[in-house]
Copies of this chain bind each other. A is one copy, B any other.
Amino acid sequence: MSLRHAILVALLERPSSGLDLARRFDRSIGYFWSATHQSIYRELARLEGDCLVEALPQPNSRGQRKLYEVLPAGRSALVAWVGEYEAPERSRDALLVRLRAAAVVGPGPLLKQMRLHREAHAERHAEYLEIARRDFEDPDREASAQVRHLILRAGVGLEEYWMTWLSEAIELLSDVDPGDPPAP
């Protein structure tokens, strides 16, 4: 149920249309909850059906921009959800499954994949740093900006962590398997 509440937060921060939300999820919200426009539209329809958000009464046909804003019931639902405790989920990482598989069936082209992963994390890292530079340059004054900065730093640190671990892993795998996998 996190997408629903991520949308409520985003709409509280600024009333938006579905595509606006999709763009904001690509930018600043996406580093802890990603979403495609399809899932956003579906969730917006549900939120409207549950009377938690309201579409401003402008458009009357398809292809027209529809602005949504949060109703009081939506704000209450969000407050209630924030109060619910949810245990942290176990991480799921296909690359680590591949790595464990490689320990059994041979590494194949896995080293190359790990270098690509490291590049991908480096790109995200740079992206986050750019956001930090643009949006949080001055020592944060408002509390809400401090919190958003804190969340961004979580993303920065995670990307750094994976870059470090991947470098270690690549080094170890290069030693263990300098060439091609052994023939069966």
List residues of A whose CB falls within 8 A of some B CB: 2, 5-6, 8-9, 12-13, 29-34, 75, 78-79, 81-83, 85-106, 108-110, 113, 116-117, 120-121, 143-144, 146-148, 150-151, 153-155, 157-158, 161-162, 164-165, 168-169, 172-173, 176-177
Contacts and interface: CB of A to CB of B under 8 A. Distances in A.
A84 B25 CA distance: 27
B5 A101 contact: yes
Nearest to A6: B97
B2 A34 contact: no
A126 to B, nearest CB: 15
Please provide the 6 A-B residue pairs with the shortest distance between their CB atoms, ordered closest to farther: A32-B96, A103-B147, A103-B144, A34-B90, A2-B94, A143-B176
A156 B155 CA distance: 18
Contacts of A75: 105
B5 A143 contact: no
A88 B5 contact: no
A65 to B, nearest CB: 24
A33 B86 contact: no
A96 B151 contact: yes
A139 to B, nearest CB: 13
A105 B12 contact: yes
Contacts of A97: 2, 5-6, 9, 32-33
Chain B CB count within 10 A is highest, among A2, A97, A121, for A97
A143 B2 contact: no
A150 B103 CA distance: 11
A91 B92 CA distance: 9
A33 B96 contact: yes
A165 to B, nearest CB: 5
